[in-house]
Structure 1
Amino acid sequence: MSDRPTVDDVRAAQERLHGVARVTPVYSSETLSRLAERPVLLKAENLQRTGAFKIRGAYNTIAQLSSEERGRGVVTASAGNHGQAVAWAAREAGIAATIVVPEAAPMAKVEAARSYGANVELAGEGFDDTLAIAREREAETGATFVHAFEDPRVIAGQGTLGLELTGQLPTGEAVVVIPVGGGGLAAGIAIALRALRPEVRLVGVQSAACAPFAGREPTGTTIADGIAVKHPGVLTRPILEDLLDDVVVVDDEEISQAIVLLLERSKLVVEGAGAAPVAAILAGRAGGQGPACAVLAGGNIDATTMSSVIRYGLTASGRYLVVALLIPDRPGELARIVGLIAAQRANILAIQHHREGRNIGVLETEAELTLETRDEEHSQLLIRALADGGYTVRRLR
């Protein structure tokens, strides 16, 4: 295999993965189609073995190792999903695996890799740090390094998802939106679809906080940890520059709302990186004509993160409203506020009283209310009702 895989390499990978990687379904979504004003399809790779597409590339690579390489075991760096896939594939091959993940990696991903028998080391602040540390382990132990994207065997394995899409997409014009971190998935899909469905528009999507392919400097952390790779792949970048039609960005607020929509309306649990394509489609950034297919690359999101994302997503969409009201500190005042809220058919989730503060008078108290609302319009109606009731309303979220 050359440094740049071909569609024949992808087909060979598909043979190796037969009976290993699942052929994941493509669902249509009436709700997302209505919101996007175009047909929206969902390639549910979050239902893949180990919960993400990474098993394709990891297994295809490990299946091609020599006996000597297998004997030395494997080591890798991962934001989480690739590590799980390498751990699973190594277990199936009967070889040792060491996975280096960032210290802040979601525990769901860490524990899953450990459950497959791998030695998991938490080190570094992000993927680039863990990559350097994993390379040190490679030099120290002689283990075979399995890169998350800078390997033609990995790219060919990821490309099998593109082969599946060739038969799952409707005929004619369509758009496929793919999350881009290091670029291995997008490169593999692009190789397959450009060869077999050249009319399909291919769009990569990155997090606004970490979008090197889109020409942006990293600005911080993101809930899309699976695509938070600061430096584009040397191998993948020219492939994407040749074969993708566009690379767009979405922010964490848009990703959070996409996660909530997928959970609530499509009954699909999807992590930040996997939801980014849906966010791009809903934001109108996919371009092109015809149905838009979002590649839901993974679903490995832990319960703590999911809880935070749900709260954030509901707040961003106007379905959680947090307000502070300065009110007279006297009996019956809170009951009057509750009555105003009930009249607007909103639900009170929490109330906190603050009697100390620079802006609170001697005979006043501040009530902070967390309310469940239908949407942003309902939130605005509620704020106006409280203001009309004589209260000074300060919106917190």
Structure 2
Amino acid sequence: MSDTNLPNTEEFRDKARAAMVAMRSVFPATPLMRNDHLSDKYDADIWLKREDLSPVRSYKLRGAFNAMRRARGATLFVCASAGNHAQGVAFMCRHFGVGGVIFMPVTTPQQKIDKTRIFGGDMVEIRLTGDYFDDTLAEAQAFCAEEGAHFLAPFDDDDVIEGQATIAAEIEAELPDGADLIVLPVGGGGLSAGMRSYFGPDQAIKYVEPSGGMSLAAAVENGGPVTLNKVDSFVDGAAVARIGARPWDRLKGIQRSDVLAAPEDRICITMLEMLNIEGIVLEPAGALSVDVLDDIRDEIKGKRVICVTSGGNFDFERLPDVKERGQRYSGIKKYLILRLPQRPGALKDFLNLLGPGDDITRFEYLKKSARNFGSVLIGIEVKQASDFDGLFQRLEDGGFTYRDITQDTTLSEFLI
């Protein structure tokens, strides 16, 4: 670990503890709760640090609080965000009684705009600009330069990192014996940098990124931050193309094996499991730490593990899409393009091949590809993934031609 750039651990802990104490005038410590369901499932002692239960349903207000209290004399704060950081900054602007201008992409869902406005009240102005976040960020920074405002970065800021480390201070206060392993979600790296700075390099930590946005893994492999060519935006709270420079200074030296990938569609299954079994609402980024437990099942058996559930700002209008993606990942739902003969009884012949538990969820003629045949888009849901083996065999035996487009990203996005 000689190539780390961690601050003096005791000094950093003292500052984080002081920030934690100061925060108590704003909101109580978030619960650290043992989860019986996950503990039984993985034969381990699983605890959840419930940042989804903060006043803004994410940990982002911690960094905003600490950075704003440190910015003495500043009366106008600016941030660029389409999500949790915006809400945290808005909440703290109202708390400190200072002005805030929050830049959000034009494409930001109305629900997030409304929540940010509610948290900030009269102290915050929201400006919608840019179709993409990079454009929004450029506008925010240009505004800061013109107006002399204080820019609040979501993760690439030492005071923000220190503020996120208050999570570690709360864990230490409640569980003095600590944990064998801490599992953290990673976006820009502010939370991870704060936790590692507080506990030091000897604390075992797993860092979880969405498969479509592994900027920390790329930095570890390349020896420094690199910008990803493409990022899947589904896990919007952690889909970051480049790890922050300041977080990286504190994270370099970690092992590549400690950076885990969580597939976006599998995260959907985890979200639904936590909602249906535990009644816990997690956004995609908030479910990252729980999602990878199955990947490290053998490693955590019999050990105490703390998972930070970083946020619960989930728009329930997305629930059908989450369910759909989860079903497709687990293999119980597929989409086929079927070449159906244009003759009386052809559809009935196809339907007779379905099993008793097979359900057609979509049926749409696409076009007539030939005089005697038509192409049909069919969605089929089965009870268990292995049921498709029998169905496909029956289709082939019956002379039906089909194409499974479930994993064909281009076709499925266009047709489904």
TM range (shorter): 0.7 to 0.9
Equivalent-residue separation in structure 1 for 2:144 and 2:125 (angstroms) = 14
Moved more, 200-209 or 44-53: 200-209
In the other structure, the counterpart of 2:245 is 234
In the other structure, the counterpart of 2:358 is 346
Q: Does 1:69 align with 2:74?
A: yes
Give, in angstroms, the shift of residue 203 of structure 1: 1.7
CA 1:167 to 1:254, structure 2 compared with 1: closer, same or farther past 3 Å? farther
Within-5 A mapping of 1:274-285: 274-284=286-296
Q: In the alignment, residue 62 of structure 1 is paired with which amino acid?
A: M
Equivalent-residue separation in structure 2 for 1:33 and 1:321 (angstroms) = 31
Whether the 8 Å CA contact 1:32–1:282 is kept in 2: the answer is no
Give, in angstroms, the shift of residue 38 of structure 1: 5.1
Secondary structure of 1:157's match? helix
User: 1:250-304: per-residue Cα shift (whole Å, max 9, x none)?
Assistant: 3323333333333333332222222222333333399566244332211223344
Equivalent-residue separation in structure 1 for 2:327 and 2:174 (angstroms) = 32
Q: Find the partner of 2:184 among 160, 178, 184.
A: 178
Equivalent-residue separation in structure 1 for 2:181 and 2:288 (angstroms) = 15
CA 1:281 to 1:125, structure 2 compared with 1: closer, same or farther past 3 Å? farther
Within-5 A mapping of 1:1-397: 6-25=12-31, 26-28=33-35, 30=37, 34=41, 40-66=46-72, 68-70=73-75, 73-115=76-118, 116-117=120-121, 118-124=124-130, 127-166=133-172, 171=177, 174-194=180-200, 200-215=203-218, 217-222=227-232, 223-241=234-252, 246-284=258-296, 290-341=303-354, 343-357=355-369, 361-397=370-406
Secondary structure of 2:63's match? helix
Whether the 8 Å CA contact 1:353–1:366 is kept in 2: the answer is yes
Equivalent-residue separation in structure 2 for 1:205 and 1:380 (angstroms) = 33
CA 1:189 to 1:382, structure 2 compared with 1: closer, same or farther past 3 Å? same
Equivalent-residue separation in structure 2 for 1:385 and 1:42 (angstroms) = 46
Secondary structure of 2:237's match? helix
Equivalent-residue separation in structure 2 for 1:64 and 1:356 (angstroms) = 67
Moved more, 176-185 or 274-283: 274-283
CA 1:77 to 1:311, structure 2 compared with 1: closer, same or farther past 3 Å? same
Equivalent-residue separation in structure 2 for 1:214 and 1:57 (angstroms) = 23
Q: TM-score, normalised by structure 1?
A: 0.84
Segments of 4+ in structure 1 off by > 4 A? 2-5, 36-40, 124-129, 167-173, 242-245, 285-289
User: 1:59-79: per-residue Cα shift (whole Å, max 9, x none)?
Assistant: 23323443x313xx2111224
Give, in angstroms, the shift of residue 83 of structure 1: 0.9
Q: In the alignment, residue 235 of structure 1 is paired with which amino acid?
A: R
Equivalent-residue separation in structure 2 for 1:173 and 1:75 (angstroms) = 37
CA 1:279 to 1:48, structure 2 compared with 1: closer, same or farther past 3 Å? same
CA 1:47 to 1:320, structure 2 compared with 1: closer, same or farther past 3 Å? farther
Q: In the alignment, residue 233 of structure 1 is paired with which amino acid?
A: G
What fraction of aligned residue pairs are identical, expressed as a percent? 30
Equivalent-residue separation in structure 1 for 2:106 and 2:296 (angstroms) = 35
Whether the 8 Å CA contact 2:179–2:306 is kept in 1: the answer is no
Equivalent-residue separation in structure 2 for 1:388 and 1:164 (angstroms) = 62
CA 1:349 to 1:212, structure 2 compared with 1: closer, same or farther past 3 Å? closer
Equivalent-residue separation in structure 1 for 2:14 and 2:115 (angstroms) = 32
In the other structure, the counterpart of 2:409 is none
Moved more, 279-288 or 106-115: 279-288
Q: In the alignment, residue 214 of structure 1 is paired with which amino acid?
A: A
Equivalent-residue separation in structure 2 for 1:76 and 1:135 (angstroms) = 8
Whether the 8 Å CA contact 1:326–1:392 is kept in 2: the answer is yes
CA 1:92 to 1:275, structure 2 compared with 1: closer, same or farther past 3 Å? same
CA 1:91 to 1:215, structure 2 compared with 1: closer, same or farther past 3 Å? same
Whether the 8 Å CA contact 1:47–1:299 is kept in 2: the answer is yes
Moved more, 331-340 or 9-18: 331-340
Equivalent-residue separation in structure 1 for 2:229 and 2:318 (angstroms) = 20
Give, in angstroms, the shift of residue 18 of structure 1: 0.8
User: 1:5-29: per-residue Cα shift (whole Å, max 9, x none)?
Assistant: 7011111111111153343333425
CA 1:266 to 1:337, structure 2 compared with 1: closer, same or farther past 3 Å? farther
User: 1:75-95: per-residue Cα shift (whole Å, max 9, x none)?
Assistant: 112242111100011012222
Equivalent-residue separation in structure 1 for 2:317 and 2:380 (angstroms) = 21
Whether the 8 Å CA contact 2:268–2:325 is kept in 1: the answer is yes
Give unmatched runs, 5+ long, in structure 1. Answer: none
CA 1:134 to 1:350, structure 2 compared with 1: closer, same or farther past 3 Å? same
